Structure 1
Amino acid sequence: MSARPLGTLARRTTRPLARGLAVAAGSVVGSVVAVRTSAPHVVLTFDDGPEPGGTDRVLTALAERGATATFFVLLGRVRRHPQLLADVVAAGHEIGLHGVDHRALTDLSSAEVTRRTADGRAELEDRTGRPVRWSRPPYGRQTVRTWRAVTRAGLTPVLWGPTTWDWRDISTEERRRAAQRGIGRGAIVLAHDGFAGPADGVDDGPAPILDRGELIGAVLDDYAAQGLVARSLGDALVTGELVRTARFRR
């Protein structure tokens, strides 16, 4: 047997260890990125609502197809449109916190992130009469610092896989194709029932022109053709378990 260089042996020994440590770290400091399940479920999530003309049409599309979803709401919009929040809850969907407004958490101090998250959670629970478990950082932007601040407030950050690209000015067919990329059992799909703007503390340009209910109906029909049904995160966890990954970006 020929001798191998010591450095090669060290690299081959440490790589599996490094991968193992990364997996372990993800389970400790990771965000939810999917659900491990044998059921034909995809997790459908909506951000930036509630919004008249968006949330109501999305609710109709979901009801017509027997689907449930998790809505990550903005508190400023909840205060402006409390009846829409009540409609989401009454229809059997799940509520998560997207933020007091849509400012990136990475632009705020750790203390402010914790305070805003804790206060937001308390307000949503008061309004809905239900526990709130999940949060989603605006733009998906988070660091280890902001992740810790959110978890200190008692919420679990949730990211996503496939997305409908419904914040972009593109065609419906392009959005439907985007929603297919990476789809499969337990995938978390990002969609929007509103579009954040200056009233939400940000300026991301003009809102795209689309019927959000029509888009979601088409996406759900595409999933149904593959034997998949949409469920809220909480509903999917009845038979599945969380998949976490350490995913951070400023």
Structure 2
Amino acid sequence: MPGAGEATAGLPEAGGAGVAVRRTLLNLAGPVTRPIGSLTAVRTRAPEVVLTFDDGPEPGGTDRVLEALAGRRASATFFVLVDRVRRHPALVREVLAAGHEVGLHGMDHRRLSKLAPATVRTLLAAGKRELEDLLGIPVRWFRPPYGAQTPAVWRAVRRQGLTPVVWGPCAWDWLDRPVETLAGQAARGLNRGAVLLAHDGHAGPEDGADDGPRPRFDRGDLVARILTGLDERGLRGRSLSAALAAGTPWTTPWFLR
């Protein structure tokens, strides 16, 4: 998730007109830039959006999100931290058992763009290997912590056979705000094929992060409100793989420090 001091740097809808213009130009570049792109959306005719959750697994967060998703028969992609998976292996298995998918978010939540390239390669290889050993299935997706990705990080991700996945709309749910405010924020730009960034956990110092105080709101309540908003618009929440079954990936360059 974007950190306390990076709330605008990692979000495509934040930062004013300059960011919007830059992303419009990248989208127009289309086939030229796609080979060096990260997945930002799904091109689909199905009434679906992609739900993604970062920074878990976390008791009191992941389990509440799972309950909300089950109540609406929605699926999602959970980008997990391996250091947390070690602490809560049963919880990540519960994510899979409920029909969701798991992607890699990192060994921990350190900003990869600040690390030496050799360290990034080592961390990615170790994280993918350990997560696949635990799950017993291949891991396809990777989301860089904070969305921080340089060309060197992007190359390291691709060399591990992973696809970098970023986002469009964002719930801003690392902030302790009323759930109705966060749900309204998540709805901005949440159109067919969009990839929503939300969280089932909160990275802290034990994860190599300094993201401010832990939010106190109920993450399950937030997800339920987001899903209600989708229902009212005739949309469904799906995992990335499920959405791609009826669509194609849309990629653009995404390089942030």
Could you say whether these structures have the same fold, taking a TM-score greater than 0.5 normalized by the shorter chain as the test?
A: yes
The residue matched to 2:33 in structure 1 has which SS? Answer: helix
Aligned to 1:206: 213
Question: 1:28 Cα shift?
Answer: 0.5
Cα distance between partner residues in 1 of 2:28 and 2:55: 35
Cα distance between partner residues in 2 of 1:108 and 1:145: 10
Cα distance between partner residues in 2 of 1:59 and 1:176: 17
Q: Any conservation in 2 of the 1:115–1:153 contact (CA below 8 Å)?
A: no
User: Aligned residues, how many?
Assistant: 233
Question: 1:19 Cα shift?
Answer: 7.4
Can you list the C-alpha shifts for 1:58-86, whole angstroms capped at 9, x where unaligned? 00100110000000000000000001011
Matched, 1:239 2:231: no
Aligned to 2:113: 106
Any stretches of 5+ residues in structure 2 without a counterpart? Answer: 1-24
Structure 1 window deviating more from structure 2 (96-105 vs 109-118): it is: 109-118
Cα distance between partner residues in 2 of 1:207 and 1:59: 20
Aligned to 2:194: 187
Structure 1 window deviating more from structure 2 (32-41 vs 176-185): it is: 176-185
Aligned to 2:89: 82
Question: 1:110 Cα shift?
Answer: 1.4
Moved over 3 A (4+): 18-22
Matched, 1:173 2:180: yes
Any stretches of 5+ residues in structure 1 without a counterpart? Answer: 1-17
Matched, 1:45 2:81: no
The residue matched to 1:159 in structure 2 has which SS? Answer: coil
Name the TM-score, length of structure 1 as normaliser.
Answer: 0.90
Q: Any conservation in 1 of the 2:40–2:250 contact (CA below 8 Å)?
A: yes
The residue matched to 2:58 in structure 1 has which SS? Answer: coil
Name the TM-score, length of structure 2 as normaliser.
Answer: 0.88
Matched, 1:161 2:168: yes
Aligned to 1:230: 237
Can you list the C-alpha shifts for 1:142-201, whole angstroms capped at 9, x where unaligned? 111111111111111000011111111222121111111111110000110000001101
Q: Any conservation in 2 of the 1:93–1:232 contact (CA below 8 Å)?
A: yes
Question: 1:22 Cα shift?
Answer: 3.4
Cα distance between partner residues in 1 of 2:49 and 2:42: 8
Cα distance between partner residues in 2 of 1:127 and 1:88: 13
How much identity, in percent, do the aligned residues show?
Answer: 58
Aligned to 1:7: none
Question: 1:23 Cα shift?
Answer: 2.4
Cα distance between partner residues in 2 of 1:239 and 1:103: 34
The residue matched to 1:179 in structure 2 has which SS? Answer: helix
Q: Which has the larger radius of gyration?
A: 1
